[in-house]
Structure 1
Amino acid sequence: MDLHVRYEGDDDPKKCTARKLARFDMAELHRSARATPFGLVLNPHADTALSPADAEYETLVALDCSWETAGRAMFEMAGEHRALPFLVAANPVNYGKPFQLNTVEAFAGALCILGEREHAERVLSKFTWGHTFLELNEEPLRRYAECADSSAVVDVQQEYLDAGEDA
């Protein structure tokens, strides 16, 4: 699966996971929505959850921008928009925070759900904390990858959200 990034460039360049992926030729950066190819767009505002049923797409697109500017309008790109289900960040900035993934974590989570775990491991291997993301999310990623469709992913996600409320 080809990885593409709609790149805003508003984060610290030294901490930018999208730029690092591009340096290793693992993702292609695009400076405008028009230049970004059509594909499966990872969008936290999407109405549909990502599921293995989306594995037919060959292009995966993420938006790389600061969480402060990640409003709904930023995600206006051509493609099929899907939200990632509950996953916990492992990166040093947002460690342990649910739904606060950086770009490489979003790609890795999506790749695992879409049945491309080895690809996820390769992109995460460029980061010292990368393996931690897969360890923290091992069970939910496995369960999401076993789902037939978006509604099943949402059901599994709800179990994790309910468990968090009980904690």
Structure 2
Amino acid sequence: MGKGKNKTHEPKNGKPQRGANGHSSRQNHKRMEMKYDNSEMTKFPVKLAMWDFDHCDPKRCSGKKLERLGLIKSLRVGQKFQGVVVSPNGNGVVCPDDLEIVEQQGASVVECSWARLEEVPFNKIGGKHERLLPYLVAANQVNYGRPWRLNCVEALAACFAIVGRMDWASELLSHFSWGLGFLDLNRELLEIYQQCTDSNSVKKAEEEWLQKLEKENQERKSQSKDEDIWMMGNVNRRDNGAQSDESESEEDSDQSELESDKQSIEYDSLGNAIGIDNVKSRKMLSEGSEDEESESGEDEEPVSYDSLGNII
């Protein structure tokens, strides 16, 4: 065996050499192999790319999941993209006129946290077709229902949907359990954007939609002030007319009962309240007893006693 052949060179300090990204060269090599293998697993109709700044949890990051599926390519800082770049640094908004660019060059996104945008070197990434997204509502598990807070896959799907490729948007979102809900949540608004042409028309449609939302919000506020919230839609309550009639009849009945109660009360010589019915019954009883006594007196025969007091 020749000198130096098939010999592994270990660093003098015993630690593996690390690349510019802080990982060992062996790990970098394995990662590149994994990316190459993944790229052969699944093919998407157009190019997809992202700049990943590792701000998100890898288990919940939609961009990293697309990368594991081999659907998207990770770009380095300083590397540009020729297709549409969905970025907070964009000048115009995505519009149907961008269809040709998307079909020929694809789309890319910036994979970062909304709370750490100031850490992203936007001057070192992007391309000549940087775009903003118009008003849309997130459906992902982190920011569900919040406007503008779209994640990586939602941003790409929104781009495809606005330019008219709903099939690509559905295909991309189908890899997530909540994914297709994004299209359902924004269906009406996406259809409005699809009817536009250039960036200005999409921006105008967005402003009209926001004005509509503001108007509805003001109407709800004024309605809540004018109407008692407990009265709205309560089928258990009757109208005021029925209530007044019912209350009047109840008052009349109560008044008549009160008067009858007053009439049925008498007082004895000591000032105690006694009912008229009791007085009448007592009178009837006394009269009845007198009649009985008189009747019994008339019918009785004379009684004689002996010297010992016995009746004979």
TM-score surpassing 0.5? Answer: yes
Question: Match for residue 68 of structure 2?
Answer: 23
What do residues 100-155 of structure 1 show as CA deviations (whole Å, max 9, x unaligned)? Answer: 00000000000001121111101101111101100000011111112111111011
SS at 1:26's partner residue? coil
The counterpart of 2:106, out of the listed 59, 62, 65, is 59
Aligned length: 166
**2:123 equivalent to 1:78:** no
Aligned 1:1-167 pairs, distance under 5 A: 1-34=46-79, 36-57=80-101, 58-71=105-118, 74-76=121-123, 77-166=126-215, 167=217
SS at 1:92's partner residue? coil
Deviation of the 1:72 alpha carbon: 8.9
Deviation of the 1:90 alpha carbon: 0.1
Where structure 1 has 5 or more consecutive residues not aligned to the other structure, the ranges are none
What amino acid maps onto 1:14 in structure 2?
K
The answer on whether the counterparts of 1:21 and 1:27 sit within 8 Å (CA) in structure 2 is: yes
Distance 1:11 1:73, change over 3 A: closer
What amino acid maps onto 2:92 in structure 1?
T
Structure with higher RCO (Cα < 8 A, 6+ apart): 1
Normalising by structure 2, report the TM-score: 0.51
Deviation of the 1:75 alpha carbon: 2.9
The answer on whether the counterparts of 1:89 and 1:100 sit within 8 Å (CA) in structure 2 is: yes
What amino acid maps onto 1:7 in structure 2?
D
Deviation of the 1:54 alpha carbon: 1.1
Deviation of the 1:23 alpha carbon: 1.4
The answer on whether the counterparts of 1:6 and 1:33 sit within 8 Å (CA) in structure 2 is: no
Deviation of the 1:3 alpha carbon: 1.1
The answer to which of 14-23 and 72-81 deviates more is 72-81
Distance 1:144 1:17, change over 3 A: same
Where structure 2 has 5 or more consecutive residues not aligned to the other structure, the ranges are 1-45, 218-312
Question: 2: distance between equivalents of 1:143 and 1:150?
Answer: 13
What amino acid maps onto 2:61 in structure 1?
C
Question: 2: distance between equivalents of 1:131 and 1:120?
Answer: 9
Deviation of the 1:47 alpha carbon: 2.3
What amino acid maps onto 2:97 in structure 1?
A
What amino acid maps onto 1:31 in structure 2?
R
Question: 1: distance between equivalents of 2:121 and 2:85?
Answer: 12
What do residues 16-57 of structure 1 show as CA deviations (whole Å, max 9, x unaligned)? Answer: 1011111112211123232x4322111233221110111121
What amino acid maps onto 1:59 in structure 2?
G
Q: If each structure's helix is expressed as a fraction of its own residues, which one has the higher value?
A: 2
Q: CA RMSD for the aligned pairs?
A: 1.6
